[in-house]
Amino acid sequence: MARIGLIGFGYLGSFVYEQMTTRPELGLDVAFVYNRSAERLKGVSPEHVLDDLHSFAEREPDLVVELAHPDISREHGGAFLSRADYMPLSLTCLADADLERSLLDTAGRSGTRLCVPHGAVIGLDALSEGREMWDEVSITMKKPPRSIDFSDCENYCAEDIEEETVLYDGPTRGVCALFPRNVNSHAATAMAGVGFERTRSVLVAAPALDVSVIELSARGQGVEIDIRRANPMQGVSGVLTLLSSLASIGRSSNTRDPLFIC
DSSP string, 83-138: HSEEEES-GGGGGSHHHHHHHHHHHHHHT--EEE--TT-TTHHHHHHTGGG-SEEE
| Confidence band for 195, pLDDT divided at 50, 70 and 90 | very high
Q: What is the pLDDT of residue 55?
A: 98
Please determine, for residue 178, whether its predicted confidence score (pLDDT) is greater than 80: yes
Ranking 104-108, 117-121, 246-250 by mean pLDDT, the lowest is 117-121
Rounded percentage of the chain residues whose pLDDT exceeds 70: 94
Q: DSSP secondary-structure letter at 48? A: G
What mean pLDDT is predicted for residues 180-206?
95
| Confidence band for 237, pLDDT divided at 50, 70 and 90 | low
Q: Would the pTM count as exceeding 0.85?
A: yes
Q: What is the pLDDT of residue 250?
A: 82
How many other CB atoms are there within 10 angstroms of residue 37's CB atom?
Answer: 8
pLDDT tens digits, one per residue of 213-232: 999 999 999 999 999 999 88
Average pLDDT, the chain: 91
The residue among 193, 190, 215 whose CA lies nearest residue 204 is 215
pLDDT tens digits, one per residue of 44-77: 999 999 999 999 999 999 999 999 999 999 999 9
CA–CA separation, 132 vs 225, rounded Å?
15
Strands 2-7 and 63-66: parallel
Q: Is the dihedral of CA 175, 119, 143, 220 positive or negative?
A: positive
Q: Give all domains of the chain, ordered by start, each with its CATH number.
A: 2-119+241-261 (3.40.50.720), 124-236 (3.30.360.10)
pLDDT tens digits, one per residue of 8-23: 999 899 999 999 999 9
| Confidence band for 238, pLDDT divided at 50, 70 and 90 | low
What mean pLDDT is predicted for residues 30-51?
95
Please determine, for residue 239, whether its predicted confidence score (pLDDT) is greater than 70: no
Edge-to-edge strand ranges of the sheet holding 223-234: 165-171, 199-205, 136-143, 211-220, 223-234, 237-238
Q: What is the pLDDT of residue 256?
A: 57
